[in-house]
Amino acid sequence: MASLKIVCSLMVIIGSLSFTPSRAFPGFNFGWGGGVGQTGGGYTGGGVGQTGGGYNGGGVGQTGGGYNGGGVGQTGGGYYGLSPAFYQYSCPQANDIVMSVLEKAIAKEPRMAASLLRLHFHDCFVQGCDASILLDDSATIASEKNSGPNKNSIRGFEVIDEIKARLEEACPQTVSCADILALSARGSTVLSGGPDWELPLGRRDSKTASLSGSNTNIPAPNSTIQNLIALFNRQGLSVVDLVALSGGHTIGVARCTTFKQRLYNQNGNNLPDATLERTYYNGLKTACPRTGGDNNISPLDFASPDKFDNTYFKLILWGKGLLSSDEVLLTGNVGNTVQLVKSFAQDEGLFFRQFATSMVRMGNVSPLLGFNGEIRTNCHLVN
Ligand code: HEM
């Protein structure tokens, strides 16, 4: 702790002595962001969890305190990664503001927690955790909101807007929309009864979005286990991350259209998915008829839809997972996913710890750092 303080103070001193451009990058003046000499390509290849397995074996933000006591990646490279202390000086009340808005929104509608957790996931899987998902259509932006996985589905934008408005009042042009998404995902998990974790911060916001990336990188509900593993690997995430993060489906709902195939024609033979438990299947048919009803919703974890717990994994073991992508974690017969589902079903503490670890890893996917990107004033628009 003492050494962390010394490093921080040194950086502030060095920053104020030699880093005049920092004024142009509010929110970047102190803490880990206020680095020295981050020009040009200083970031490339060194960022946190950049592509290509950057996580495995030595990346930043690994479990077990990689962030604590001295920060990340400062060895000689002249760049800095994400850090939980990022807003320590520039906006110390950031998380309190996020939590107060979340408390109100989730009290009014418990499902909002699920929607906000998913928003962070759909952000991170498309050009990294850079708030690209929040950008609206414009002359230069084809919004990710219109992609297959997002259209008529992704929600929670008003809550993000309210948080952003409050943060702009308290600490103008300081807290990025990408960090707001990450803080909201953590806060939503905690407020639903799930685990808490130390959250690395300092992501900056993109000036671009990728509609095509949103269509191709986010897994579909009828994905095979091989697809799921491949799409997570593409983000530098492992099979353990896949199973643990799928546990996010312990809260929230899905529309009939996302699981209808399982009920009526799973394999092109007009038969239901044989892995579905009988009474659960009969109930689902009422909620989701063969024709119509596409927007009817069913809980992903019908036993405790608003509570973040390990029931999701127990339900999978009983043939009561809602999406095909949930059930294939058990029946897909690849790797150790079966064992992971069983372990998480048996031991909630284990699931919580791994979920927290995997959320940090997902949150570290290709963040924009330093002079890259910007701090948007309005999360819907490039500045
Ligand atoms: C493993 C691959 C995944 C697939 C195929 C998948 C698919 C889906 C689908 C189809 C829905 C319902 C959308 C709708 O009907 O509008 C959904 C909802 C949801 N997903 Fe996933 N998901 C995956 C991973 C994740 C991850 C990693 C998280 C977070 C850590 C997550 C969190 C959620 C939440 C919380 C909801 C409910 C949202 C709400 O009620 O508004 N999912 N997911």
Q: How many CB atoms lie within 10 A of CB 88?
A: 15
> Tens digit of pLDDT for each residue in 111-126?
999 999 999 999 999 9
Compute the chain's Rg from CA coordinates. 21
In terms of residues, how long is the chain? 383
63 alpha carbon – ligand 1 mean position (Å): 24
148 alpha carbon – ligand 1 mean position (Å): 13
What ligand 1 atom has the least distance to the C-alpha of 219?
A: 5
Q: How high is the mean pLDDT of the chain?
A: 83
Binding residues for Ca(2+): 123, 126, 128, 130, 132, 144, 250, 301, 309
Q: Which residue's alpha carbon is at the smallest distance from atom 18 of ligand 1?
A: 254
Residue 134 has pLDDT above 60, yes or no: yes
pLDDT of residue 154: 98
Residue 263 has pLDDT above 60, yes or no: yes
Residue 42 has pLDDT above 50, yes or no: no
Distance separating alpha carbons of residues 260 and 152, to the nearest angstrom? 17
Q: Which residue's alpha carbon is at the smallest distance from atom 7 of ligand 1?
A: 221
Greatest Cα pair distance in the chain? 71
CA distances from 305 to 35, 244, 310, 316 (A): 44, 17, 11, 14
The reported pTM is: 0.83
C-beta separation of 138 from 381 below 8 A:
yes
- Least confident span in 56-70, 108-122, 176-190, 236-250: 56-70
pLDDT of residue 4: 36
Burial of 89-98, coded b for 16+ CB within 10 Å and e otherwise, reads ebbeebbebb
Residue 371 has pLDDT above 70, yes or no: yes
Top pLDDT among 42 and 13 is at 13
Q: Catalytic residue positions? A: 122
What ligand 1 atom has the least distance to the C-alpha of 247?
A: 30
Q: Which residue's alpha carbon is at the smallest distance from atom 3 of ligand 1?
A: 219
> Tens digit of pLDDT for each residue in 20-40?
222 222 222 222 122 222 222
Cα-flanking dihedrals φ and ψ of residue 353, to 5°? -65, -45
Residue 19 has pLDDT above 90, yes or no: no
In 208-367, at which residue ranges do the beta strands (DSSP E only) sit? 253-255, 297-299
Residue 194 has pLDDT above 60, yes or no: yes
DSSP helix/strand/coil, 205 = strand
Q: At what angle do helices 337-346 and 324-331 cross, to 10 degrees?
A: 100
Segment 244-269 shows an average pLDDT of 97
pLDDT of residue 5: 36
pLDDT of residue 281: 98
pLDDT of residue 80: 65
CA angle 73, 201, 119 (to 5 degrees): 125
C-beta separation of 258 from 219 below 8 A:
no
Q: What band does 302 get if pLDDT is binned at 50, 70 and 90?
A: very high
135 alpha carbon – ligand 1 mean position (Å): 20
Residue 70 has pLDDT above 70, yes or no: no
Residues with CB under 6 A from ligand 1: 111, 114-115, 117-118, 121, 153, 155, 219-221, 223, 228, 242, 245-246, 248-249, 251-255, 258, 300, 323, 325
Q: What percent of the chain has pLDDT over 90?
A: 78
Four-CA torsion 108, 114, 118, 119, nearest 10 degrees: 10
Residue 64 has pLDDT above 60, yes or no: no
> Tens digit of pLDDT for each residue in 281-299?
999 999 999 999 999 999 9
Distance separating alpha carbons of residues 365 and 383, to the nearest angstrom? 23
11 alpha carbon – ligand 1 mean position (Å): 40
C-beta separation of 188 from 117 below 8 A:
yes
> Tens digit of pLDDT for each residue in 151-189?
999 999 999 999 999 999 999 999 999 999 999 999 999
Segment 213-229 shows an average pLDDT of 98
Helix/strand/coil (H, E, C) string of 64-75? CCCCCCCCCCCC
Q: What band does 335 get if pLDDT is binned at 50, 70 and 90?
A: confident
Superfamily (CATH) of domain 219-358: Peroxidase, domain 2 (1.10.420.10)
Q: Which residue's alpha carbon is at the smallest distance from atom 10 of ligand 1?
A: 221
Q: Which residue's alpha carbon is at the smallest distance from atom 33 of ligand 1?
A: 118
CA angle 48, 49, 52 (to 5 degrees): 140
pLDDT of residue 333: 83
pLDDT of residue 13: 32
32 alpha carbon – ligand 1 mean position (Å): 33
